[in-house]
Structure 1
Amino acid sequence: MDKTFNGLVVSANDSGAYTATLSTKTISELPAGDVLIRVHYSSLNYKDALSASGNKGVTRHYPHTPGIDAAGVVEWSSTDRWKPGDEVIVTGFDLGMNTSGGFADYIRVPASWIVRKPDQLSLRESMIYGTAGFTAGISVAALLKNGVTPDQGPIVVTGATGGVGSVAIGILHRLGYSVTAVSGKPEAHDFLTSLGATDIIPRSELDDTSGKALLKPRFAGAIDTVGGSILATLIKSTNYGGTVTCCGMVNSGDLPLTVFPFILRGIQLVGIDSVEYPIDHRTAIWQHLADDWKPDSLASLTHDISLAELPDAIQTILKGQMQGRAVVRIV
């Protein structure tokens, strides 16, 4: 008999509005794949909220189960690479976008999407990170690869109270960097300080409208999650030879900038993509996240929610009111 399980299903109602409800699904409804995974935890990301809102740029076909993150235990595998009982992590690729995602008891995915959970991490901890934390890890790796060291000055992090920003602050603090957090939420100052931010500045301070090609150097590097004029201001304000990473565009997809920061200061702009990041490099990032990059503040970054609480949490993140990370308890 086909096994049934619970999941969050997003569908359009008669008026064309999209609603998310808990529903019963069956294993046979899952897409074809090499490995069936019993999901224990997932996490809530902004992309999940877009998928749950009917955004066709994220998810083309509905009804659909979002959840771009999943951590759980292999229940069945058609390959020798993965065996029943293996604890694994799946983030990125097409999970939760057009492939039934982690907001359900089960997922079935290609073997090539799966990373073995490091021993130093619990399944829940891996979802405190999730895609947001993994993106923060790739961003920190880019700074390290380009030789940005703590003695060169502060690293500025935008979107500091969000998932990527909050984890990035924790990792950078663990590695000995001085961190400047950018936030438009005065009430979040204590939270950001607890993560390791040594300075907190408002967004308006990094939204230059002077039209200048270069600004006074202030930062050794930057992790930007918002894009637009704020990213341009960061690039113009980075020290000679510094590195700026870019992983988001909530502010804007445009970049009002000249080439001068690149050809006069040698600034490096590194785009961060966590969706198609090569699987062999994923393993290395996850190992760092489990070990030498693991923030002391990791547990304080999150709160747990159930599948039933997801619809309300989705509205919270869409309104920009989510602080830190939300781990979704599946089991």
Structure 2
Amino acid sequence: MTSFSVFRVTNEPAFTAAITTTTLNDLPEGDVLIRVAYSDVNYKDALAAKENGGVIRSYPMTPGIDLAGEVVESQSAAFVPGDQVLLTGYGLGVSHPGGYSHYQRVPAEWLIKRPAALSAKDSMIYGTAGFTAALAVQALEDLHLEKSAAILVTGASGGVGSVSIALLKKLGYQNIIALSRKKDAQWLIDLGAETIMTPDEVVPEKIKPLAKQQFSAVIDTVGGDLISALLPQITYGGGAFLCGNAGGIKMETTVLPFILRGIRVVGIDSVNVSHEVRTALWDKLAGDWSVTDQLHTQSITLDQLPTTLAALIAGTHQGRTIVEVAAKA
């Protein structure tokens, strides 16, 4: 059988992450075989390709938590050859071989049919990062804030942060603050941020239970000490939308921001979201919420993955990177 390329990590005899070849016979069980056109790069993918990254559950594994492509074979009545599909989340690239492969076989219930208005390439410009940002922005909309409200987006130069800024701007928010160590990232201003602040400007020497009210809402991709410092600064009736832990998983706080200012903290999970929610949100991203033409995007091949994944771990990667896996769809 004809072989094809795959980016695979293994830990025997030593940890390696490299391009290799495989065949359809070596793919996992699943109802649907997909010819993968595009994948993308997320922080979880970088951890998956790192020794002791804490993501991969068993080796060998093909990373890539997202994919978009065309159905080649199907044992499911829901899909037929030629269907254009996309997949984000579930166990893809973590417990089930993922998108960094020219072909992949997956369970039918994980797939959604790609909206006709959204190309395979654009769906991966969003990917898990964009889908997560959309979930956070949708939850933020439930606060019914004034469009002039100050909204802080942490980790702004990353995938979730940058898409969040673009979506907020699209929805008419006027006071979007990008929090980034890259103070000179003009592209964040072009994307829709009113200003750029650094963590040093918002994290006080001593974190108090309550601080000056500065931000109506925070979309946080960092976690750790940063969100601990920001919770006391959220205005009355505001909220924090947590969707990342690049800065750590621990958060220290008191009950005071919640019982004296009525703020809410909402966890954003993009992995196990229902099929109905996924479909509705992807339709939005393909339609009224479309921002792919505004995003800071680059394209790479499978061969260039190691360099890009290393940049993510080092904190030097910006914007969204899509992976041209096997097609130009």
Do these two structures clear the TM 0.5 threshold for a shared fold by scoring above it?
yes
Aligned to 1:194: 190
More off after superposition, 75-84 vs 201-210: 201-210
Q: Distance in 1 between matches of 2:201 and 2:284?
A: 33
Deviation at 1:183, TM superposition (A): 0.5
C-alpha contact (below 8 Å) 1:51/1:58 kept by paired residues: yes
Runs of 4 or more above 4 Å deviation: none
1:155 aligns with 2:151: yes
Deviation at 1:296, TM superposition (A): 6.5
Aligned to 1:313: 308
- Structure 1: stretches of 5+ with no match in the other structure: none
Deviation at 1:235, TM superposition (A): 1.7
Q: Distance in 2 between matches of 1:59 and 1:184?
A: 29
Q: Distance in 2 between matches of 1:36 and 1:182?
A: 41
Deviation at 1:56, TM superposition (A): 6.0
1:168 aligns with 2:164: yes
In the TM superposition, what whole-angstrom CA distance separates every residue of 1:17-60 from its partner, at most 9, and x where no partner exists?
A: x2222111111211111111110000011111111113363112
In the TM superposition, what whole-angstrom CA distance separates every residue of 1:105-135 from its partner, at most 9, and x where no partner exists?
A: 0111111111111122110001011111110
Deviation at 1:246, TM superposition (A): 0.4
Aligned to 1:6: 5
1:39 aligns with 2:36: yes
Deviation at 1:295, TM superposition (A): 2.1
Q: Distance in 2 between matches of 1:256 and 1:208?
A: 14
1:233-244 to structure 2, matched below 5 A, reads: 233-244=229-240
Q: Distance in 1 between matches of 2:237 and 2:253?
A: 17
- Structure 2: stretches of 5+ with no match in the other structure: none
Q: Distance in 1 between matches of 2:70 and 2:300?
A: 20
Deviation at 1:13, TM superposition (A): 5.6
Paired residue type of 2:68: A
1:212 aligns with 2:218: no
Q: Distance in 1 between matches of 2:167 and 2:141?
A: 12
C-alpha contact (below 8 Å) 2:122/2:292 kept by paired residues: no
Deviation at 1:3, TM superposition (A): 4.4
In the TM superposition, what whole-angstrom CA distance separates every residue of 1:171-205 from its partner, at most 9, and x where no partner exists?
A: 001111121000111232x1111111001111112
Query: How many aligned residue pairs are there?
Result: 325
Q: Distance in 2 between matches of 1:56 and 1:195?
A: 31
**What is the aligned-residue identity percentage?**
45
SS state at 1:150 partner: coil
Q: Distance in 1 between matches of 2:26 and 2:178?
A: 44
Q: Distance in 2 between matches of 1:279 and 1:21?
A: 33
Across the aligned residues of Structure 1 and Structure 2, the Cα RMSD in angstroms comes to 1.4
Q: Distance in 2 between matches of 1:310 and 1:218?
A: 39
Instruction: Give the alignment partner of residue 108 of structure 1, picking from 105, 109, 116.
Output: 105
Paired residue type of 1:4: S
Q: Distance in 2 between matches of 1:126 and 1:56?
A: 26
Q: Distance in 2 between matches of 1:287 and 1:150?
A: 24
Paired residue type of 2:221: T
Instruction: Give the alignment partner of residue 274 of structure 1, picking from 270, 276, 280.
Output: 270
Aligned to 2:299: 304
C-alpha contact (below 8 Å) 2:239/2:265 kept by paired residues: yes
SS state at 2:321 partner: strand
Q: Distance in 2 between matches of 1:67 and 1:80?
A: 26
Q: TM-score when scaled to structure 1? A: 0.94
SS state at 2:184 partner: helix
